[in-house]
Amino acid sequence: MLSRRSFLQKSTVAAAAAVTTPIVLNSLACSGVHKLKNFGFISGIIGKELEGDWKAVLKKTVEFGFSEIEIGDYLGNSAVEFLAYCKEIGLKPVAGGIGFGTETDETSKRLDALNELGVKYAVTYWPWLTGGPFTLADCRQSTDILNSLGSLCRQKGLTLCWHNHDKEFISMGEGFPFDFLMNHTDPALVKCEMDVYWVKKGGGDPLALMKKYMNRFPILHIKDMAPGASQDFECPGNGIIDFPSIFSEAVSQGIEHYMVERDNVPDGMACLQSSGEYLSNIRF
């Protein structure tokens, strides 16, 4: 599997994860009566592990409670082999990454590859042509490209999502880039895979955004935030993000996909194990 840098550059899914001591919200894991019907993970969180016996690794993730995966390329010798094994163990590919730009032929080939994987969503993980902070001109350029990509995705039977980071919450003097992208893209063509950590890191409120832009978030990226000034990455349930409230709103809106992600992972499998336990037991 590819690193996050390679993922952003080559449009394959990557991320990372880590494990620390559960601190705040594990105490809320058993409150309430509702629970998640299913949850998944982004493949890059165990990129190193998948370079070995990928079948054994994926089977273990199912044992941890995961039933969905966000992945950019098939594992093994072919998409057919990969999908057959995923079906055998009960793991469903849901989303995969695409690049961001105006190269229609290259994007079309990438979408064909995602269709081979049977995914529903094509995700562009950096919907910008610059590194930010973003200007109004950057926003206009990005929304034009997103609408064009969204149209191409729909022609291919896929739904486009863009993934946020924290820089979308740096004011450009005329509001926030996040709101501009949401307000100037066609809701029928462009959705958002909201990363709750990056929203909070940028100073936003994931719950408020979900209510403000209902029906625009088919997938949530689930990673936690460490307490204190560092605001470092954490595995779900080990930090300060109020997931019960987020999940309660998400379920009420019909959001179906929750993908565990965590950057800079020292032990991806350990993170998935603790995350799987937390997400299996959380009630809201």
Q: Is residue 278 within 8 Å of residue 59, measured between CB atoms?
A: no
Report the pLDDT value the prediction gives residue 32, as an integer from 0 to 100.
Answer: 87
Percent of the chain with pLDDT over 70: 89
Q: Which two tokens stand for residue 42?
A: 């982004």
In angstroms, rounded to a whole number, what is the distance separating the alpha carbons of residues 234 and 221? 13
Exposure of 270 in the CB half-sphere (CA atoms within 13 A): 10
Q: Where residue 174 falls among pLDDT bands split at 50, 70, 90?
A: confident
- Structure pTM? 0.89
Report whether pLDDT(16) > 80: no
Q: Is cis: bond before 22, omega within 30 of 0?
A: no
Report the pLDDT value the prediction gives residue 28, as an integer from 0 to 100.
Answer: 47
Mean of per-residue pLDDT scores for the chain = 91
Report whether pLDDT(19) > 70: no
Q: Which two tokens stand for residue 200?
A: 């909070």
Report the pLDDT value the prediction gives residue 29, as an integer from 0 to 100.
Answer: 54
pLDDT of 114-130, one tens digit each?
999 999 999 999 999 99
Q: How long a stretch of residues is the chain? A: 284
Count of Cβ atoms closer than 10 Å to residue 271 Cβ: 29
In angstroms, rounded to a whole number, what is the distance separating the alpha carbons of residues 10 and 71? 13
Distance of CA 105 to the CA centre of its chain: 25
Query: End-to-end CA distance of the chain, in Å?
Result: 34
CATH number 3.20.20.150 given to 4-281 = yes
- What residues are paired with 224 via a beta bridge? 234
Q: Where residue 264 falls among pLDDT bands split at 50, 70, 90?
A: very high
Report whether pLDDT(86) > 80: yes
Q: Which two tokens stand for residue 124?
A: 């562009």
Report the pLDDT value the prediction gives residue 224, as an integer from 0 to 100.
Answer: 98
Percent of the chain with pLDDT over 90: 87
- DSSP 3-state of 161: strand
Report the pLDDT value the prediction gives residue 12, as an integer from 0 to 100.
Answer: 36
Mean pLDDT of 126-142: 98
Q: Is residue 168 within 8 Å of residue 177, measured between CB atoms?
A: yes
